[in-house]
Amino acid sequence: MNKIRFKSTDNKFSAEITDEILNDIHGECIKSNDTETGGIIIGKYSEDRSNAIISSITGPPNDSKQGKCTFEIGVSGLDKILEDNLDLGYRCIGDWHFHPNSSPRPSIIDDMQMKKFACNKPLNCPEPILLIIGGNQDKGWELSLHVYTKDSKISLKKQK
Ligand SMILES: [Zn+2]
């Protein structure tokens, strides 16, 4: 199990994911082919909230809206998954989605959706992480990771 670490340029925020979980995400993308897909990110923060540790991801809830260039995450079944994870100390810390054959850069709509996501009371995730996978299986995957705070969007870069 290999850990991949991400950091903001000012070193204030970091995140870590295992290649196993990344493989799960790639699996969901392969299954979805050229349609956007996504899900929530489950994990926990370090005590000072500066480091996010990703423990698992979900696929798209049944009531998600999936198109060639859109993905609107649903909520169906998430309460059960989050309840099960709460016992382990894990909660919703963000979401992820797939930009098939395209750049993993967040769109303006993604930015807007993350603000909405941060305000979703039941999810209780005020500073969500957004992980976007771009590209495809043949040409290779690309990944971006951002943290959305109340008034800014911070890019986390992959550490060597
Ligand atoms: Zn997007």
Give the list of residues 6+ apart from residue 10 with CB closer than 8 angstroms, or none.
none
Give the list of residues 6+ apart from residue 14 with CB closer than 8 angstroms, or none.
5, 6, 7, 8, 50, 51, 52, 156
Domain hosting 70: range is 3-158
CATH number at residue 150: 3.40.140.10
In this prediction, residue 94 carries a pLDDT of 95
In this prediction, residue 125 carries a pLDDT of 86
What is the number of H-type helices and E-type strands within the chain?
3, 10
Task: Tell me the whole-structure pTM to 2 decimals.
Answer: 0.94
User: How far is the centre of ligand 1, averaged over its atoms, from the C-alpha of 127 (Å)?
Assistant: 18
CA angle centred on 10, ends 5 and 15, rounded to 5°? 25
- Active-site residue among 20, 36, 72, 83? 36
CB contact at 8 A, 129 and 41? yes
User: How far is the centre of ligand 1, averaged over its atoms, from the C-alpha of 153 (Å)?
Assistant: 15
User: How far is the centre of ligand 1, averaged over its atoms, from the C-alpha of 34 (Å)?
Assistant: 13
In this prediction, residue 1 carries a pLDDT of 79
User: How far is the centre of ligand 1, averaged over its atoms, from the C-alpha of 133 (Å)?
Assistant: 9
In this prediction, residue 147 carries a pLDDT of 95
Mean pLDDT by 10 residues, the chain (160 residues): 94 95 97 96 91 96 94 93 93 96 96 88 87 96 94 92
> Domain total for the chain?
1
> Residue 118 carries which side chain, given as an amino acid letter?
A
36 belongs to the catalytic site = yes
Dist CA 58 CA 40 (whole Å)? 6
